Amino acid sequence: MSEEIKKLIIDYVKKEYLEEDSTTEVNENTKLISSGIVDSFSMVSLKMFLEKKFLVKIPDDKATPEAFDSVNNIIVLLKEFTKI
């Protein structure tokens, strides 16, 4: 199940935040915020995607750059609020 969720998030990041012809590798450990793939403003749209997809409400004070800095970090965050 966790693998499916990882893939779902990785696919979304690739589709929405990388150029179509980008050769940048994204895996569960790839730095998303600190690498600039997702900037702090775009975190809002990523947060919205996660909330809609997993039917959760992530409090703003939990949506920190560190919490969004990799797919693995995001999964840890989601686990706080869902039963994934």
Q: How far is the CB of 78 from another protein (least distance, A)?
A: 17
Do residues 56 and 47 make contact, with C-beta atoms less than 8 angstroms apart? Answer: no
Q: Considering beta carbons, is residue 2 or 45 the nearer one to another protein?
A: 45
Residues 47-66: x/- map of binding to another protein (CB under 8 A)? -xx--x--------x--xxx
Residues 5-44: x/- map of binding to another protein (CB under 8 A)? -----------x--xxxxxx------x-xxxx-xxxxx-x
DSSP string, 29-71: TS-STTTTSS-TTTHHHHHHHHHHHHT----GGG--TTTTSSH
